[in-house]
Structure 1
Amino acid sequence: MDLRQRPFRSVLYIPASKPRALDKARSLQVDAIIFDLEDAVAFDEKVAARETLKEALDTDGYGARYKIVRINGIDTEWGLEDAKAVTHINADAILLPKVAAPADLDALAQITGDLSIWAMMETPRGMLNASAIAAHPKLEGMVMGTNDLTKELQCRFRADRLPMLTSLQLCLLAAKAEGLVIVDGVYNAFKDDDGLAVECEQGRDMGFDGKTLIHPAQVAVTNTAFAPSDAEIDLATRQIAAFEAAKADGQGVAVVDGRIVENLHVASAGEILAKAKAIDALAKE
């Protein structure tokens, strides 16, 4: 499956040092997992976490879930060995934190070779260099690190995320220009389903492919928010049918629900139906 057609609605962080959490993740209805060697792992557990993660991924059992490993920064005492270790385990991609410039990805790629790279976008420098970062040939996806970004911007928390909208949109523009996957940052209040739903709706409206999660309790809300709704599927189906009928009559446009339907609307409708089909296929694997 082409990566852009693959669902990334829910992307759950799992501590690489916790065998029980690693095992539980095998049964969760998430589209992707970030196996975390960085923030979720205590300093004195970081070395052992590499082997714990290798054992889990060698055993596998994660089905069609996309497997991403977040390492510590290359400039830390653990990052270099993390990167080397990931090249020898069953992962789909490696995630580098605090990417500030393409040179950071160059340094990682020298170690990881052909392994796909994802970038954590969580610093002001990274925001300003988003376009150049997104154009890196090894880059496959971007992950918004909104907690670190909030700290670096020294901005206040607002439910509408107004202080960081520019940063989010810079990364969205860069990712879309290069055809990358891009997922939104975490929602920290994992017991607040209503607040999560609002932030998911905002992220979906903006164009994010999905959202990173810190707790399994957030999966259902997020999967629903980033999947095509029944109404969207119905409209897409009718738009395609109406446009095909118009073409058969020699017309270049159709009308559905009082609105013009052109080629671009049909293309969007096709993407909606393809995404719904991919989600159904993923659920059956």
Structure 2
Amino acid sequence: MAQYFRPRRSMLYVPGCNTHYLERARTLHADSVILDLGDPILVERKEESRDNVVRFVNEGGYGSREVVVRVNDLISEWGPDDIKAIAKTKVDAVLFPNIESREDVLTALSLLDAAGGSHLPIMVMIESPIAVLNAKEIAAASDRIVCIVMATSDLISQLHARVTHERSAILTSLSLVILAARAYGHAVVDGITSDFKNMHSFEYACRLGRDMGFDGKSLVHPAQLAYSNDAYTPQTSEVSHAREIIAALKEANEQGKGTVVVNDKLVERHHVRAAERLLKLNEMIKTLEESHV
């Protein structure tokens, strides 16, 4: 959805049970913060976390950051109450975990609408083999989906695979979800790297994800922010090249030519559309970073 196009280079999970982290998230250079009520929260702290998140969201203070709340599973004893509590807050979007089908998306929207959140966009998590195989029907289910978020740690476990530097076990799954997201105009964000002290592997994962087509990466620790933001920020040379492409094809069109060669590469209309998107994203990132200063 064009109106929800924005930088999502870094989406930082923030546990709802920790008020210090909820407060600190207001100062971090994350494009999005995901205030988390889900699996990482102990059962005995679920309701406390919900109350914390509702309070912090309504108090605001997150500036230009996108504020997202991840609720518990729809079939859990906490999920429906999470939705009721979050639906009327000032949240920017609700993130639904364990979405595996079109029906799951429609159920999530129905519960959200019934709770008074019909104005809210949603995000969905892909974290199982069946969800990957159903990525197309999930992406097609609603235009209120603004972002698809991978849960790669869960996916690797369910695949009985191993975590490797090259991410070879999940490359096919990542590609299938990216294809589905792009086919239906949704943003798509890579999953976490849980080993937050291995910055070499994390940086590789960021740049691999960027080159595959992801919009950004979800994170579990503030130390990862700088690496993710850098990987998903257009480089100065890319911005210059984008401007050159647009200008060159415009001039060629005025001369009655449909294509042009720029830096020994053929440029067509689809290259211009990609360049225009990059320039728009770059300006949004500049505005967002200026607001963090």
TM-score category, normalised to shorter length? over 0.9
Question: Aligned AA for 1:266?
Answer: V
Aligned length: 285
1:207 aligned onto 2:207: no
SS in 2 for 1:228: coil
Amino acid at match of 1:127: V
What pairs with 1:131-210 in structure 2 (closer than 5 Å)?
131-137=136-142, 138-210=144-216
What's 2:129 paired with?
124
Aligned to 2:275: 269
Q: Distance in 1 between matches of 2:276 and 2:4?
A: 13
Question: Partner of 2:98 in structure 1?
Answer: 98
Report the RMSD for the aligned CA atoms in angstroms.
1.4
Which residue of structure 2 aligns with residue 219 of structure 1? Answer: 225
Distance 2:175 2:225 in 1: 24
Structure 1 residue identity aligned to 2:9: R
User: Any residues of structure 2 matched to 1:12-27 within 5 Å, and which?
Assistant: 12-27=12-27
Look up the match of 2:234: 228
Asked whether 1:71 is paired with 2:81, we answer no
Gaps of at least 5 residues in structure 1 are none
- The 5 Å alignment of 1:226-265 reads 226-265=232-271
| Offset of residue 249 of structure 1 | 2.6
Supply the distance in 1 between the matched residues of 2:281 and 2:196 (Cα, whole angstroms): 27
| Matching of residues 46-85 of structure 1 within 5 Å | 46-85=46-85
CA contact (8 A) 1:4 1:180 kept: no
Counterpart CA distance in 2 for 1:278 and 1:74 is: 34
Residue by residue, what CA displacement relative to the aligned partner does 1:40-94 show, whole Å, maximum 9, x if unpaired? 3111110111111111111101111111111111111111111111112221111
Give deviations 1:144-172, integer Å, cap 9, x for gaps.
Answer: 00011011110112211111112111111
Residue 12 of structure 1 aligns to which amino acid in structure 2?
L
SS of the equivalent of 2:272 reads helix
- Please say if residues 5 and 274 of structure 1, whose CA atoms lie closer than 8 Å, have aligned partners that are also in contact: no
Shift of 1:3: 4.7
SS at match of 2:276: helix
1:31 and 1:57 mapped to 2: Cα distance? 16
Give the residue type in structure 2 aligned to 1:168.
L
Equivalent residue for 1:32?
32
Shift in Å, 1:284: 2.4
Shift of 1:258: 1.2
CA–CA separation in structure 1 for the residues paired with 2:141 and 2:231: 30
**Partners of 2:137 and 2:248 in 1: CA distance:** 41
- Helix, strand or coil for the counterpart of 1:26? coil
Q: Which amino acid aligns with 1:183?
A: V
Structure 2 CA distance for aligned equivalents of residues 35 and 193 of structure 1: 24
Measure, in 1, the Cα distance between the counterparts of 2:82 and 2:158: 25
C-alpha separation in 1, matches of 2:245 and 2:39: 46
Amino acid at match of 1:261: V
Give SS of 1:194's match. Answer: helix
Write the letter of the residue equivalent to 2:179. Answer: L
Q: Distance in 1 between matches of 2:268 and 2:57?
A: 46
Q: Secondary structure at the match of 1:250?
A: coil
Identity of aligned residues (%): 38
Deviation at 1:122, TM superposition (A): 0.2
Counterpart in the other structure of 1:110: 110
7-16 or 233-242, which deviates more: 233-242
Code of the aligned partner of 2:112 = T
> Residues 5 and 278 of structure 1 are in contact (CA less than 8 Å); yes or no, is this contact kept in structure 2?
no
* Counterpart-to-counterpart distance in 2, 1:152 and 1:118: 22
CA contact (8 A) 2:4 2:146 kept: no
Q: Does the 8 Å CA contact 1:33/1:65 hold for their aligned counterparts?
A: yes
Residue 71 of structure 1 aligns with an amino acid whose one-letter code is V
Distance (whole Å) between structure 2 residues aligned to residue 209 and residue 142 of structure 1: 10
